[in-house]
Structure 1
Amino acid sequence: MDSMKQILAEAVVMPVFQISDLNHAAPLAHALKAGGLSVIELTMRTPEAVAALPLMKKAVPSLTIGMGTVTSFDDLNRALTAKPDFLVTPGCSPSLIEHLLKQALPFLPGVATPSGAMIAREKGVEAMKFFPAEASGGVDFLKSLYGPLPDIVFCPTGGITLETAQNYLALPNVPCIGGSWIAPAHLIQHEDWDSITENASLAAGLAKARSDAAA
């Protein structure tokens, strides 16, 4: 089983989306994969989410699919029935982290403050979601955290666009960003799979550019 750090390093750019129609699960999986993305986050913001994840996995078995917006023990138990590859929380209490640590799955707890990051690190967590990124200080905040907390890596999510993504990916403590712009609700609802594939391709291009720059 890959660690959360390994998953983020593979992803670089991770689409974050929701599904409200199970008929959209398979074509969306194909559209994202066709664009070059293989690590994705399906949020639990709709009743269909738990049933949608295995449908996406069946359609494209090579996808690494995380279940996001896990906010409670009940959410966690429901998410586990979908057999996700990893779990994501928008925020995280110490008790929820303890419960997540008992599962045989990588997880990405959400934090938005230095205290939150330190609490998670005390539990042994080294990869965290920075959410909501833009509203919580964005690039400047993460730059400030690198000095005192250089061992923590973050996946900033929330308000990031294609245009601002590179600013985050240039930071040494950001191996991956989350983006809702890749598969927004209106494109999914209108079944505009070509546009989603194009967005995914642009996101994959950011990952390639980062790889080339590091070479």
Structure 2
Amino acid sequence: MSTAVLEPTLTTLSDKQATIDTMSRLGVVPLVTLNDVDEAIPLAHALADGGVPIAEVTFRSEAALAGMARIHDYVPEVMLIAGTVHSVEQARQAVAAGCIGIVTPSFDERVVDWCLDSDVLVLPGTAVPSDIEKAYDRGLRYAKFFPAEAYGGVKTLKALAGPFAEMNFLPTGGVNLKNVADYAALRNVFAVGGSFPVPSAAQKIGDWAAVAQACRAAREAVAAARA
């Protein structure tokens, strides 16, 4: 049974900015790739127990959609986001499964425009100024920065803060417990994303206590950096 005090999610907050605000308060967005559908419920409980009740379930496995539906149905306190979304069809399927947000690995105009037309929160993948400009022109002020480390990491985000002062980023890709504080301290980073709150070794053997502890460590590192 979860004993953590959970942040408000879309069970009580109903608009896209409220979702962003909750992500910002949490500071960490765990990337979850399910090896098996049966992992979905205990893994989601572990995230909640670790004080990070949000899951970006990626379309990197065949268990993704069914896993999303299980988390939505059985662990509703966990905010559900779909990640690695490559097509409008995947976006539709994710929303039907209960996801309240879409995250793409690149700036896919088809997916972004469908989300905007459908009033679905979208965090498009951006890596270079031209991607960010496309997001900005569509009225978006929050985007994913991916792959963060490969594209200059903290140094690049600092440089982007000048010409794109209104943009806020979710850096993902190469972010880990050793460098998460460097990202979290940036004024244009509203949250950090990565698989490090869900260690693959712990997930593989179903050590959900270890996952919860990794989530706590991630959130504590973010909180310390922001302070």
Provide the TM-score with structure 2 as the length reference: 0.88
Task: State whether residues 25 and 55 of structure 1, in contact with CA within 8 Å, keep that contact through their aligned partners in structure 2.
Answer: yes
Q: Which moved more, 1:83-92 or 1:180-189?
A: 180-189
Q: CA deviation at 1:20?
A: 2.4
Aligned pair count reads: 212
Match of 1:2 among 11, 16, 20: 16
Tell whether 2:26 aligns with 1:11. yes
Q: Which moved more, 1:49-58 or 1:125-134?
A: 49-58
Tell whether 2:83 aligns with 1:68. yes
Two-structure CA RMSD over aligned residues (Å): 1.5
After superposition, give the CA deviation of every residue in 1:112-156 in whole Å (9 maximum; x if it has no partner). Answer: 001100111101111000001001110000000001100000000
Task: State whether residues 87 and 108 of structure 1, in contact with CA within 8 Å, keep that contact through their aligned partners in structure 2.
Answer: yes
Q: CA deviation at 1:175?
A: 1.3
Runs ≥4 residues deviating over 3 A = none
After superposition, give the CA deviation of every residue in 1:21-66 in whole Å (9 maximum; x if it has no partner). Answer: 1111111011111111022211011111111112123332211110
> Which residue is equivalent to 2:108?
93
Task: State whether residues 36 and 63 of structure 2, in contact with CA within 8 Å, keep that contact through their aligned partners in structure 1.
Answer: yes
Provide the TM-score with structure 1 as the length reference: 0.93
Match of 2:207 among 178, 189, 192: 192
Supply the distance in 1 between the matched residues of 2:216 and 2:86 (Cα, whole angstroms): 31
Aligned to 2:55, what secondary structure does the other structure show? strand
Q: CA deviation at 1:106?
A: 1.1
Supply the distance in 2 between the matched residues of 1:93 and 1:152 (Cα, whole angstroms): 18
Q: Which amino acid aligns with 1:12?
A: G
Q: Which amino acid aligns with 1:176?
A: A
| Structure 1: tracts of 5 or more residues without a match | none
After superposition, give the CA deviation of every residue in 1:96-117 in whole Å (9 maximum; x if it has no partner). Answer: 3211211232111110001100
> Which residue is equivalent to 1:42?
57
> Which residue is equivalent to 1:173?
188
Match of 1:159 among 174, 190, 201: 174
| Structure 2: tracts of 5 or more residues without a match | 1-14
Aligned to 1:107, what secondary structure does the other structure show? strand
Match of 1:145 among 137, 150, 160: 160
> Which residue is equivalent to 2:37?
22
Task: State whether residues 29 and 59 of structure 1, in contact with CA within 8 Å, keep that contact through their aligned partners in structure 2.
Answer: no
Tell whether 2:131 aligns with 1:116. yes
Aligned to 2:71, what secondary structure does the other structure show? helix
After superposition, give the CA deviation of every residue in 1:148-169 in whole Å (9 maximum; x if it has no partner). Answer: 1000000000111111000001
Q: CA deviation at 1:210?
A: 4.5
